[in-house]
Structure 1
């Protein structure tokens, strides 16, 4: 994740602006004003170590990374305290899902801590994230999944946490049906294979096969990688992909499908 190295070195500057740019500024002690914004948009110049972002991929990677940990910060703090279970789950996401190295984890933690104290709102982060990925529904769904996963990690989802997640789903432009599907998955102790596939148990064998093929196309790691996210983030898609495959195989076995 080369852009993280540039960020640590102070050479990437503020490439995204808005509430997420404010988090970066506060987290790493860089000043950000209209002159910086003009410089980064190509409307002006500014001496002293900054340079414009090099690629659109860098901007997307940074937006995903900063938005994810900023939204998680606001989500975990909304009910008054950040639980040990929530911290462990976020650490697990950093280590096992995103496979961040030690330096990258330090950056994620710094962003998280800054966002916890920031006057910016959860909704402002969600709006900027949705704007960046408005044509990439799978990524929006993955982010919603992460939010529910962390909120449910301490044994339940509080009404305030659910309010924020519902708000994110709405801002992301995802359906009420998707929200109920993901809510059901995390609010129940036992995951239902049909819920994983977004189906009712009354679905026909052909409907099960059709839905499975659709989800495989959408969540195949190669499909997610083609959206412009760095390799580390495709780990999230791979986990989702494995869950889909396991659910389908379980249904096939129980039904005797070929």
Structure 2
């Protein structure tokens, strides 16, 4: 994510308005231009569309996680530990990216923008990219349960994202069951049910593989660190399929 350093240093231009732009501008000292775009070098190079998507995803993720951490009115040491573990173990952020993520997270904790605001702007950017919406929902779920359980208030916020994203409630419950023991995890990963016949399970597997193939995800505009998260998801799909095949005797 080398472009992050260029943005922070003011050597490359970009456009990120709305509540997410306010978070980034406050976190890194950028001024606002006409209230819709962050200040940038006049006539200088600008982020590509993919890089712009990566910036939006990165800022939205850590802004929404900050509001999720404050869901019960305060941020506990355990919640901070879970966010740091997510940065280190799941995303494997380098020093620059980690510093940027921490700045965004801390800024969003006390910012006037709400979780709803961030979710709406994120959906406006990625409404036609269902994989991006699903990755965000799963990021929220993973962090919410990383301290051992998901509180009612945390799930209420996640459901705000589910509803804002017009995300399938069935698919949400399947994702949730990967982290909260409510169903068979392998079937949840593929987006199907233990009651489905072999043909339906195969169809679900093929669809998930197509959606999360690394080459396809790489072209969507996820930041590099979240691309690795999606690659882990792809491996998880393969492992779930292998487990179900063995259990059902599918050749």
- Structures share fold, TM-score greater than 0.5: yes
Query: Closer, same or farther in 2 for the Cα pair 1:204/1:37, shift >3 Å?
Result: closer
Q: Is the 8 A contact 2:21 2:38 kept in 1?
A: no
**Which residue among 240, 246, 251 is the counterpart of 1:253?**
246
User: How far apart are residue 14 of structure 1 and its match?
Assistant: 5.5
Residue 35 of structure 1: how far off its partner (Å): 7.0
Q: In structure 1, what is the Cα distance between the partners aligned to 2:107 and 2:53?
A: 20
Among candidates 187, 196, 210, match of residue 194 of structure 1: 187
Aligned length: 251
1:139 pairs, out of 125, 132, 135, with: 132
RMSD: 2.3
Instruction: Work out which of the residue numbers 67, 74, 87 in structure 2 matches 1:81.
Output: 74
Alignment of 1:1-258 (within 5 A): 1-12=1-12, 15-34=15-34, 37=37, 51=44, 53-188=46-181, 192-258=185-251
Contact 1:15 1:52 in 2 (8 A): no
Classify 1:74/1:2 alpha carbon distance in 2 versus 1 (closer, same or farther; 3 Å): same
- 1:166: how far off? 0.5
Residues 190 and 66 (structure 1), Cα distance of their counterparts in 2 relative to 1, 3 Å cut: same
Shift of 1:189: 8.0
CA apart distance, 1:53: 2.9
- What TM-score results when the alignment is normalised by the length of structure 1? 0.88
Q: 2 CA distance for matches of 1:17 and 1:52? A: 18
* Runs of at least 5 residues in structure 1 that lack an aligned partner in the other structure: 41-45
Q: Does 90-99 or 172-181 show the bigger shift?
A: 90-99
**Structure 1 150/38 Cα, relative in aligned 2: closer, same or farther at 3 Å?**
closer
Is the 2:16–2:38 Cα contact (8 Å) retained in structure 1?
A: no
Shift of 1:230: 4.0
Separation in structure 2 between the aligned mates of residue 230 and residue 14 of structure 1, nearest angstrom = 15
1:159-187 alpha-carbon deviations (Å, 9 max, x no partner): 11111101101111211111221222222
- Which runs of no fewer than 5 residues in structure 2 stay unpaired? none
Assess, with a 3 A threshold, how the Cα gap between structure 1 residues 75 and 230 changes in structure 2: closer, same or farther: closer
Task: Deviation per CA, 1:199-248: give whole Å up to 9, x if none.
Answer: 22121112111111111011111110121334332101111111111111
Q: CA separation of 1:51/1:15 partners in 2, compared to 1, >3 Å: closer, same or farther?
A: farther
CA distance in 1, matches of 2:36, 2:177: 45
Query: Structure 2 length normalisation: TM-score?
Result: 0.91
